[in-house]
Amino acid sequence: MKIKNKSTLLTVLILPLSFSVLVLLNSCKTDPSDEILNPLPERPNILWLVTEDMGPYIPPFGDFTIKTPNLSRLADEGVIFPNLFSTSGVCAPSRAAIATGMYPSSIGANHMRTNSYTEVTGLPAYEAVPPSSVKMISELLRGHGYYCTNNYKQDYQFKAPKTAWDENGPYAHWRNREDDQPFFSIFNFTETHESGLFEPYGHRYIETRHYQAGDTTYTWKPDRMTEEETPVHLSKETDFSIPPYLPDNEVVRNDMWKLYNNIGEMDAQLGAVLKQLEDDGLLENTIVFFYGDHGGPLPRQKRLIYDSGLNTPMIIRFPEKLKAGTKDDRLVSFIDFAPTLMSLVGIKPPSYMQGQAFLGNHKAKEERKYIHAAADRFDEVTDAIRAVRDSQFKYIKNYRPEQPYYLPLGYRERIPTMQELLKLKDEGQLDSIQMQWFRETKPAEELFDCKSDPHELNNLADNPEYKAKLNELKSEMDRWLVAIKDQPNLPERELLNQLWDGKTTQPVTAQPNVETSGGKIKITCSTEGASIGYKVIHEDGIQSKKWMIYLEPLSISNGKKLLVQAHRIGYKASKAEEVEIADF
């Protein structure tokens, strides 16, 4: 394990003094220009701590059911954002938005599991295909000298090019970078995932006993623990607050216990990573983000684009506890993460990104007024729903009102609470609120006051008192759909035809061409927008550990080889091909 010289590690925060005042949060309506900071280096370290299926179930956001000492400390020393919304109620489309800065419904990424359920869709496996100019944000940062690691989940609706990460996997860690190299590191915590509510219940050894510290000698245990081995963070006698759309009985309460207990374990794992950061002397030199990949894991939460499926907590801790203990009520969308990351490290976001930076020296001049979301196919069932929300109201358009809201999805039906809902439905034991999800049809339009009706149960779309708000949000949705070239309810086969330009098979990235020019090695690829990666193979046959991004002609001595590969997102990668340098 390689630990760098702490005394020479890059001291980082956000931006130089000339820009730093623009980086600060407009927290609690405080003018950030009032802040006075010391001069700071230009490029920060960024650490993202990402959990799954996570509603605002933690003390910093008002739910004190489970103690989360590490997240609570992070919030005490940082800023909480209660109005962060994903672009989808499920993980892979939302991660596509984060990774590219483009709405999933604009790049063919919104059908959950585009590469599977082919027996149901009758389609071949496919990937999202963004415009040729689009790169993953990690690759963009690598091109600017950042060491980028992901530990360890990807799930973007497309395969990441080899050039996306310096390291990706269970051993990926900032500790493996070069001296003084700034880093962007993501750690993903899966304990809070929906699957933690069923088959078999228990935490994953891969995280629970040793949330890895870059130690490649550690041996992972692939099994899950039994319920008897599961760490207990909460008494089953706890008085849980049950949402009104779920029945209050023993089955649901046991799932609620699992939900909160999983959060307690996730907090412990997250604390281990923060301790590594602190042990390395980097806590005060790094901007730390915590957020979930969408809303909660329970039925009528995950996959839906009600707030229960979209809203997830975010905490940002700045060095020296800047703005510590404050709240920022601005609307923030996942689509804003990519431009904000670029802005924080002093890079102007590419024009193709569809969000806006909410921090940094390229911060948008105006705050976000609306967030947008979309739902299409989830595994084996398909719907077509779009939503737009302002700070108080949400408008939902159902493109398939003839379908019920609830669609039988096998994975979800493994949750005991889902099984209980279906049982009680068949027995006629659900009340009118709980039956809303099981209506045979759904209204074409819905409008909710999310402040007075946070569970979105009272549809105001036909109420004349709210006609002006309905029309405002409808107009905004129409604008957004045109702007991002979304085509709601487009048959998936037609979408695939568009993505593949009418071809019947997935496009393949052309083989890169290697040649010498002016005594240097030049690599090109005829596929527009392809990323080109290479490894050096030394005389002894040992390859470079990681794929480097080809950005400019190379100088490499004779007697060595290059391993080269090109890959455009959404296309199949070219073959990895060895090239003899001596031949040139």
517 and 483 in a common domain: no
Domain shared by 495 and 518, yes or no: no
pLDDT at site 144: 97
Whether residues 539 and 432 share a domain: the answer is: no
- For residue 544, the enclosing domain spans 513-583
* 520 lies in some domain: yes
* Inside any domain, residue 544: yes
CATH code for position 441: 3.30.1120
CB-based contacts of 462, cutoff 8 Å, min separation 6: none
Is the pLDDT reported for residue 226 higher than 80?
no
* pLDDT tens digits along 415-447: 999 999 999 999 999 999 999 999 999 999 999
Is there a domain that residue 523 lies in? yes
- Indicate whether 308 belongs to any domain: no
The pLDDT of residue 205: 67
The DSSP code for 223 is S
If asked whether residues 519 and 571 sit together in one domain, one would say: yes
184 pLDDT higher than 80:
yes
Residues 480 and 534 in one domain: no
Active site residue 91: yes
Say if residue 452 is in the same domain as residue 488. yes
Q: Return the structure tokens found at 163.
A: 């050039």
119-145 tens-digit pLDDT? 999 999 999 999 999 999 999 999 999
Cα separation, 422 vs 416, in Å, equals: 10
pLDDT band at 223 (very low <50, low <70, confident <90, very high): low
Q: Are strands 548-549 and 561-567 parallel, antiparallel or unpaired?
A: unpaired
In a 13 Å sphere around the CA of 382, the CA atoms on its Cβ side amount to 14
169: region left, alpha or beta (phi > 0 left; psi from -120 to 50 alpha): left
Question: Residue 229 above 90 pLDDT?
Answer: no
Residues 430 and 541 in one domain: no
The answer to whether 170 and 189 have CB atoms below 8 angstroms apart is: no
pLDDT band at 208 (very low <50, low <70, confident <90, very high): low
Dist CA 367 CA 102 (whole Å): 19
pLDDT over 50 at 76, yes or no: yes
* Cβ atoms of 352 and 485 closer than 8 Å: no
Instruction: State pLDDT tens for residues 501-518.
Output: 999 999 999 999 999 878
How many domains in the chain? Answer: 2
Q: Which of residues 499, 526, 557 is at a domain's end?
A: 499
- Active-site residue, selected from the candidate residues 28, 91, 450, 525: 91
pLDDT band at 540 (very low <50, low <70, confident <90, very high): confident
CATH number of the domain that residue 578 is part of = 2.60.40.10
Q: Which of 499, 534, 558 is the last residue of a domain?
A: 499
Task: Tell whether 474 and 560 lie within a shared domain.
Answer: no
In this prediction, residue 220 carries a pLDDT of 65
Domain boundary, last residue among 499, 528, 548: 499
Domain check: are 489 and 559 in the same one?
no
Does 495 lie in the same domain as 380?
yes
**What are the beta bridge partners of residue 204?**
224
Q: Are residues 443 and 528 in the same domain?
A: no
pLDDT classification of 225: cutoffs 50, 70, 90? confident
In a domain, 490, yes or no: yes
The answer to whether residue 476 is domain-embedded is yes
Same domain flag for 573 and 461: no
